[in-house]
């Protein structure tokens, strides 16, 4: 098992993209430039999830960061990289919206995610995201 404090960088893989909500897997990377050593994926580990959704009524963009538990880490690097990534993902027409971040913990591992992806996403977010946002999405 990779130590979380050995990650040099983080990657964000989009699992869901909709006009109102996006869901990303947060992946820790040990040596992102060392393909010869880590070509088999051993240098990558899922460390959490990021959910971004728009609340037009409150003119906010909610960013929910779900971190997987790891007693050897304070998660400060993951939070910093994720804040930076999420802020850069906001489109120009949304800059007047208030951007909010919430940190949560989850124990749901996404080691092998298969269709239907929406069921996996619902298991992570529970009631944190308005049900109407996920109702009509079929992926």
* Section 115-135 average pLDDT: 87
- Domain of 103, in residue numbers: 4-135
pLDDT value at position 76? Answer: 84
pLDDT in tens, 5-27: 477 788 899 999 888 899 999 98
Checking phi first, is residue 41 left (phi over 0); if not, alpha (psi -120 to 50) or beta?
A: left
Q: Which residues lie below 8 Å from residue 37, measured CB to CB, with a gap of 6+?
A: 31, 43
User: Residue 104 pLDDT more than 90?
Assistant: yes
pLDDT value at position 24? Answer: 95
User: Residue 4 pLDDT more than 50?
Assistant: no
User: Residue 122 pLDDT more than 80?
Assistant: yes
pLDDT value at position 40? Answer: 60
pLDDT in tens, 54-102: 888 888 899 999 998 864 455 788 888 999 999 888 877 777 888 899 9
Rounded CA gap, 20 and 18, in Å?
5
What is the DSSP pairing of strand 9-17 with strand 44-55? Answer: unpaired
H/E stretch holding 20? none
pTM for this structure?
Answer: 0.83
At 132, list the tokens: 């109407």
* Section 111-115 average pLDDT: 75
H/E stretch holding 117? helix 117-125
User: Residue 112 pLDDT more than 60?
Assistant: yes
SS3 at position 67: strand
At 123, list the tokens: 């298991």
Q: Which residues lie below 8 Å from residue 23, measured CB to CB, with a gap of 6+?
A: 14, 15, 16, 49, 50, 51, 121, 124
Name the domain count of the chain. 1
Q: What percent of the chain has pLDDT over 70?
A: 81
Confidence of residue 53 (pLDDT cuts 50, 70, 90): very high
- For residue 117, what are the CA distances in angstroms to 33, 37, 40, 86, 107? 30, 31, 24, 21, 17
């Amino acid at each position: 098992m990779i130590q979380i404090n050995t990650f040099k960088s983080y990657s964000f893989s989009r699992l869901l993209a909709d006009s109102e909500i996006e869901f990303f897997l947060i992946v820790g990377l040990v040596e992102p430039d060392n393909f010869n050593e880590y070509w088999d994926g051993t240098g990558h580990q899922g460390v959490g999830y990021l959910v971004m959704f728009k609340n037009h009524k409150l003119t906010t963009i909610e960013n929910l960061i779900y971190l997987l538990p790891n007693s050897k880490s304070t998660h400060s690097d993951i939070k910093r990289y994720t804040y930076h990534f999420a802020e850069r993902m906001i489109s120009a027409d949304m800059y007047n919206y208030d951007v909010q971040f919430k940190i949560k913990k989850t124990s749901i591992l996404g080691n092998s995610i298969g269709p239907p992806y929406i069921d996996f996403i619902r298991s992570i977010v529970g009631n944190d995201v308005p049900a109407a946002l996920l109702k009509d999405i079929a992926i």
